[in-house]
Each structure stands twice: as C-alpha cells, then as structure tokens.
C-alpha cells in the first residue's frame, strides 16, 4: 500500500505514536494490578520487551530474505493483532474496577486544572524527576556503550565473533537477572538496589577503561550487565511508588521519555569524546556519570533514612 517516502513517513510516525502510547500504559496497568511485587512484575515486562527486540532483527531479516518487505510487515501486523487479542482477553476489567477508575477520573477532572498545568506539576515533582534523571543517565551510558564498545574491542584486536558473543551474554544476563533483582527491590527497597547497581557499573567501566586485556574485558562486561539490571529493575517501580494518585500513567510516561532522551544523546556525546581523545576516555566518562548518579542516590537514601527516624 505504500508507494512513496512521504506515505512511509506517515506510517512510521503513526507507529511511533502508538509505541509511545503503549509503553507507559502497559507499565501503569502492571503497576496498578501489582500490590507487593511491583518491581518483579515490571522487570518481567521489561525482560519480555528486551527478548522481543533481540528476536526482531533475526525474524525480520529471515522474513525479508524469504519474501521481501511485504512479508516483514505482514508478520509485524500479525504480531500486533495477537498482542491486541491477548490484551483484550487478559486485561478485561470488572465492573467494580471500571466504577472505581471512573470515580478517580471524575474526581481528577473536578480539580479543573489544565493539561499543561498538570504536566508542569509533574515535571516539578522532585522525586519523579530524580528517578527520571537516574533512568536517563543509565540509558545514556547503555546507548553510548553499545556504540563505543565494539570499536574499542576491535582496537584491542578482539575478533568480531567474540564481540558479538560478549554483547549477547550481557543481554542474556540482563534478561535473566532483571526479574530476580526486581523481586529483591520489592523486599529490600529500591534505592539500595539502585546504589549497588550504579556503583557496580561505575567500577566495571573504570576497570574497562584502565585494563587493556581481553581476558579482563569478558567478566567486566558481564558484571556491567548485572549492574545495569540492578538499576533498571528498580527505576520503573520507584517511579510507580512515588507517583501521585491518578497520575501513574503520566509519571511513567515522563520517565520513559527521559529514558529515550538519555539513550538518544549517549552515542553522539560519548562518540564525540572518544573521537577527540580515545575510547578509554569515553568509557571513563561513563564511569564518572554512574559514580555521580550513585552519590546522588546515596544522598537520597540518607535523607529517606533521616525522614523515617523523625517520623
């Protein structure tokens, strides 16, 4: 049905709009139906999305080889319809839930606050903003490292196959351990898990920047994957924890936007630093970013502890 680039651009915009709407709503739905295991359930959802993203290029490439672009988009369309069918089946709301939510919406609308005022209030809500900044820092480093590491490894004469295997192992580690770390954050608190993850990532990046041995790189990449899983297993759940009543979806949407901003700017910024200086310096800068974020998280944890003591 597509015959020119303008039509393709419209379809891509519509797809991006739908994706932007789906993510925060899906996370808000999971958080709303999770009472004591928000971190675990959101982490399971995140791991599922990572699996989908990892499989998509392989499935799409195979479909393209077999039948061109038409088959690729047919498979994507069928997957979307299946997802919609499962969503309608498993997330069908009871009348009680609908009545409760309708009452919440009615109460929220009764405040007579404009959309932009509500948005401004959310953006000025410090706990949510801090969680969003931590998420942005994490994905800034994640996006930058995905771009810089293969080039850095090639400079150390590491075979291309080994580089791919290493990044694959890191991804598998994130997928497997994220739900476990999400459950741990439900039991031991979000901030302690985030501090541990940020410090783990910072130390692994400092060592990656200093050590030039391929034997040292292999365990450090895996350790970084565990650290990243520790951080991201807690951020979404913490955003859900601090969200105001009636603003869960909007809060998670803002956090998701900040995450995308971080992942978008990471590669060009660290790539530019690496071009001017070296790949080691670029990775070292990422280590410093994680360290600063960890210090900020530790300060927040201390303040939280003081508040509990006063209460």
Half-sphere exposure of 182 (CA within 13 A, CB side): 25
What residue numbers bound the domain in which 305 lies?
A: 5-310
Q: Using the CB atoms, write b or e for 113-124: b if 16+ within 10 Å.
A: eeeeebeeebee
Residuewise pLDDT in 10s, the chain (311 residues):
667 778 778 877 887 777 777 777 778 778 877 777 888 888 888 888 888 877 887 788 888 888 787 888 888 888 888 888 887 776 665 445 445 545 555 555 545 555 556 666 666 677 778 888 888 999 999 999 988 988 888 888 888 888 888 888 888 888 888 889 988 888 888 888 999 999 999 999 999 999 877 788 888 998 999 999 999 888 888 888 877 666 777 778 888 888 889 999 999 999 999 999 999 999 999 999 999 999 988 888 887 777 766 65
Q: How many domains does the chain fold into? A: 1
Q: Which residue has the tokens 């077999």?
A: 66
Whether the CB-CB separation of 147 and 267 falls below 8 Å is answered with: yes
Q: Report the interhelical angle of 214-242 vs 190-210 (nearest 10°).
A: 160
The CATH number for 221's domain is 1.20.1250.20
Instruction: Report how far apart, in Å, the C-alpha atoms of 106 and of each of 101, 112, 119, 219 are.
Output: 9, 10, 18, 54
For residues 237 and 252, give the distance between their C-alpha atoms in angstroms, rounded to a whole number.
Answer: 9
Decide if 65 contacts 282 (C-beta within 8 A).
no
- pLDDT at site 45: 85
- Return the half-sphere exposure (C-beta side, CA atoms, 13 A cut-off) of residue 119: 5
What confidence score (pLDDT) does residue 283 get? 93
What was the pLDDT predicted at 95? 46
Check if the beta carbon of residue 287 is closer than 8 Å to that of residue 206: yes
Q: How far apart are CA 180 and CA 175, in angstroms?
A: 10
Q: Which residues contact 21 (CB under 8 A, 6 or more apart)?
A: none
Tokens 């601090």 correspond to 242
Q: How far is CA 17 from CA 7, 9, 20, 236, in A?
A: 15, 12, 5, 21
């Amino acid at each position: 049905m597509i015959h020119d680039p303008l039509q393709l651009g419209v379809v891509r915009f519509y797809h991006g709009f739908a994706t932007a709407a789906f993510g925060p709503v899906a996370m808000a739905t999971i958080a709303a139906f999770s009472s004591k295991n928000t971190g675990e359930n959101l982490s399971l959802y995140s791991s599922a999305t990572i699996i989908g993203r990892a499989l998509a290029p392989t499935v799409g490439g195979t479909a393209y080889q077999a039948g061109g672009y038409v088959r690729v988009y047919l498979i994507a369309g069928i997957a979307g319809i299946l997802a919609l069918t499962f969503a309608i089946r498993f997330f069908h709301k009871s009348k009680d839930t609908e009545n409760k939510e309708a009452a919440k919406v009615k109460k929220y609308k009764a405040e007579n606050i404009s959309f932009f005022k509500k948005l401004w209030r959310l953006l000025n809500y410090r706990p949510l903003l801090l969680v969003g900044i931590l998420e942005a820092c994490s994905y800034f480093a994640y996006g930058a490292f995905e771009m810089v590491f293969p080039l850095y490894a090639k400079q150390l004469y590491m075979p291309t196959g080994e580089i791919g295997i290493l990044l694959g192992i890191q991804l598998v580690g994130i997928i497997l351990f994220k739900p476990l770390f999400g459950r741990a954050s439900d039991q031991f608190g979000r901030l302690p898990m985030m501090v541990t993850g940020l410090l783990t990532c910072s130390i692994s990046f400092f060592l990656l920047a200093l050590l030039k041995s391929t034997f040292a790189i292999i365990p450090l990449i895996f350790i970084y994957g565990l650290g990243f899983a520790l951080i991201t297993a807690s951020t979404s759940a913490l955003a859900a924890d601090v969200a105001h009543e009636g603003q869960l979806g909007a809060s998670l949407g803002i956090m998701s936007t900040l995450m995308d901003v971080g992942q978008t700017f990471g590669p060009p910024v660290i790539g530019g630093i690496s071009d001017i200086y070296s790949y080691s310096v670029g990775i070292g800068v990422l280590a410093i970013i994680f360290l600063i974020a960890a210090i900020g998280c530790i300060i927040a944890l201390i303040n939280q502890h003081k508040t509990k003591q006063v209460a």
